[in-house]
Amino acid sequence: MSVTTLTINGRLVSAAEGASILDVAREHDIHIPTLCHLDGLSEHGACRLCLVEVAGSSKLQAACMTKAVEGMVVTTDSERLRTYRRQIVELLLAERNHVCSVCVANRACELQDLAVSMGLHHVRYEPQAPQLAMDASHPRWIIDHNRCVLCTRCVRVCDEIEGAHTWDVMGRGRQTLVISDMNEPWGDSASCTSCGKCVRVCPTGALFEKGAVATNKDPHFVTYLRMAREQKLWNR
C-alpha cells in the first residue's frame, strides 16, 4: 500500500492511499467536529461541520469526503472555521425543538456536546418552533422529530447494514422529515426488522428507547458490525 504525505495544521502527517482528510486527522489525534459522519457508514457530506481549508482551493472542503492527496496543505481549525461551525450548530438548535432540560439524551447528545465544545451558550437565531409529531407506535422505541437533525444516520444504517431500507427522507427544505415506509406509523412498518440499529446511531434524542434514559453511544458500533460481517472479526 502506498503512503501519502500531507500537512495538517502545520504538521507533516502520513496517510494510507484513499484515506479521507478526516481519517488522517483522526489517526493523528487532530480533532475535526462532525455530526452526519459515522464510522462504518457511507459519507453524507451534509452537516458541513467538518469543512476544512485546503491551500490552493478557494472553496472549503468537507474532510469526510475529500481524499488526502500528496502534498496537500490542510487547516482544520481557524477563526473563520470556528465561526462557521458555531453558526451551523446555532442554526440546528433554532431549527426544531431542542429542549435539553427535558430530553432523554441530555448529557448523552452529540449536538449538545458540539455546543458545549464551542462554548455556545445561547442561540441568536429565531427559534422556529415547528409543530412536529412524535411516533410512539413501535413497541420498543420512539421517534421524536422535534430532536432530529436530519443527519440520516438511521436511514443509512438501515439501508447499508441491516438492508431493510425502512427509513428514508420525505419532503424537502425545512419540511424534510425522516419517515418509515409510506410515512406510516413505525409500529405498522412491514419492512422494519426491529433490529434497533437506527436507535443506536442516532446522535441526539430523536430515536430513543421507551422507558430508558439515553446513555452515550458506542461510536464504533457500525464498524464493529462491518468487521464482523465482512471479515469475521468479532473483537470489540
The residues that touch another protein, with contacts defined as CB under 8 A, are 44-48, 51, 60-62, 65, 83-84, 87-88, 91-95, 97, 99-103, 106-107, 112, 115-119, 121-132, 149-150, 165-176, 179-183, 191
d(Cα 216, Cα 149) in Å, to the nearest integer?
17
CB nearer to another protein: pick between 75 and 106: 106
CB nearer to another protein: pick between 86 and 226: 86
CB of 135 to another protein, least distance (A): 14
The answer to whether the CB of 46 falls within 8 A of the CB of 92 is: no
CB of 113 to another protein, least distance (A): 9
The answer to whether the CB of 68 falls within 8 A of the CB of 86 is: no
Question: Which residue, 35, 44, 41, 2, is CA-closest to 19?
Answer: 2
Please spell the DSSP secondary structure of 143-209, one letter per residue: EEGGG-----HHHHHIIIII----EEEES-GGG-EEEETTT--GGG-SS-----HHHHH-SSSSEEE
CB of 22 to another protein, least distance (A): 13
- Three cell numbers written together for 187: 409500529
CB nearer to another protein: pick between 98 and 227: 98
CB nearer to another protein: pick between 24 and 179: 179
CB nearer to another protein: pick between 26 and 67: 67
CB of 132 to another protein, least distance (A): 7
The answer to whether the CB of 208 falls within 8 A of the CB of 105 is: yes
- Three cell numbers written together for 30: 487532530
The answer to whether the CB of 146 falls within 8 A of the CB of 204 is: no
CB of 213 to another protein, least distance (A): 13
CB nearer to another protein: pick between 107 and 140: 107
CB of 71 to another protein, least distance (A): 17
CA–CA distance from 234 to each of 192, 196, 219, 225, 229 (Å)?
25, 19, 16, 8, 9
